[in-house]
Amino acid sequence: MLSRLLVAVLWLLHFLPLPALAFVGQTLGLLLFGLAGRRRHIVLVNLRLCFPELDDAQRRRLAREHFKVLGRSMLERSLLWWASTQRLAPLLQVKGEERIRQLLDAGHPVLMLTPHFVGLDAGGAAIAMRFDSASIYAVQSDPVFDRLLHRGRLRFGDQLLLTRQDSVRASVRAMKSGRPLYYLPDMDFGSKESIFVPFFGVQTATISGLSRLARLAGAAVVPCVTRILPGGAGYAVEVGEPWADFPSADVEADTRRMNAWIEAAVRTMPEQYYWVHRRFKTRPPGEPRPY
């Protein structure tokens, strides 16, 4: 019942002009910063590990800014689910989409490296409005929100959703069929299939799938970052140049390169990275968990 009530509230909110919706989202984020003690603790631990050069007050201010954009992203998903294409399209800017199109036109599989910035769902919608693509879908524990998220991912074009239980072969097949794969490799999935490489100077359990998938599919790796713009300006999706000399013969070196690139992207807008995730929960043997 509570889930259905929350969905009804989100549906009503999507009628607001984006500047008003952004304000409500930021207010929600500040409320969560004050009340969600466990998540606030995770964010502050992550920021302490990644930005040791900042003092406690600076990290706390950064955490507040993070919760504000997190609150925005939560409420602005309502636009992705229900707003008309005519309303949504001007809010989702994509710079560099011609790079994807040129690769596809040349018959080249495309693997999109998409870090966990809070605007990534808007970025996924922007890509889906332009390309029939593939992405990995995590089944939600709440069936009401699971149906809503699943339907939202399929709303534009002919999209293919793969689960984490699908084989690597399914992802490779999707890319070889001409679907860009919207790929998010920067979460802690445990020690299985992960290697420890630096991220902000911390040895971090990181899946090596980017290198392996690129090799198996013969795919070009194209970086993709989604930025929440201030006020009610919407979202900017930046598609970068395909990576040269990737993959290499060294999977660990490739994974280090990926983390170094993600770190550099995070430093351009540190408040927008998904800090509420326990990115460093899996530790090398003998190391204590930081949370």
- Banded pLDDT at 232 (limits 50, 70, 90): confident
| pLDDT value at 227 more than 80 | yes
* Residue 145 domain flag: yes
* Residue 94 domain flag: yes
Give the pLDDT of residue 167: 74
Strand ranges for the chain from DSSP E: 92-95, 110-113, 134-137, 160-163, 181-183, 194-199, 202-207, 220-228, 235-239
Give the pLDDT of residue 143: 87
* Residue 3 domain flag: no
What pLDDT digit, counting tens, does each position of 46-101 carry?
Answer: 999 999 999 999 999 999 999 999 999 999 999 999 999 999 999 999 999 999 99
Give the pLDDT of residue 287: 93
Give the pLDDT of residue 54: 98
- Banded pLDDT at 139 (limits 50, 70, 90): confident
Separation of alpha carbons 70 and 81, rounded Å: 17
| pLDDT value at 19 more than 90 | yes
- Expressed as residue numbers, the domain containing 240 is 87-272
The alpha carbon torsion through 17, 184, 240, 110 (nearest 10 deg) reads: -120
* The model's pTM: 0.95
* Residue 33 domain flag: no
249's tokens: 């013969």
* Residue 174 domain flag: yes
* Residue 291 domain flag: no
Give the pLDDT of residue 166: 77
| pLDDT value at 33 more than 90 | yes
Give the pLDDT of residue 1: 74
* Residue 132 domain flag: yes
CB 215 within 8 A of CB 104: no
Beta bridge partners of 238: 95, 225
Q: What is the mean pLDDT of residues 135-162?
A: 88
| pLDDT value at 38 more than 80 | yes
| 25: Cβ contacts below 8 Å, ≥ 6 apart | 68, 71, 72, 73, 74, 75, 76
What is the total count of domains within the chain? 1
* Residue 13 domain flag: no
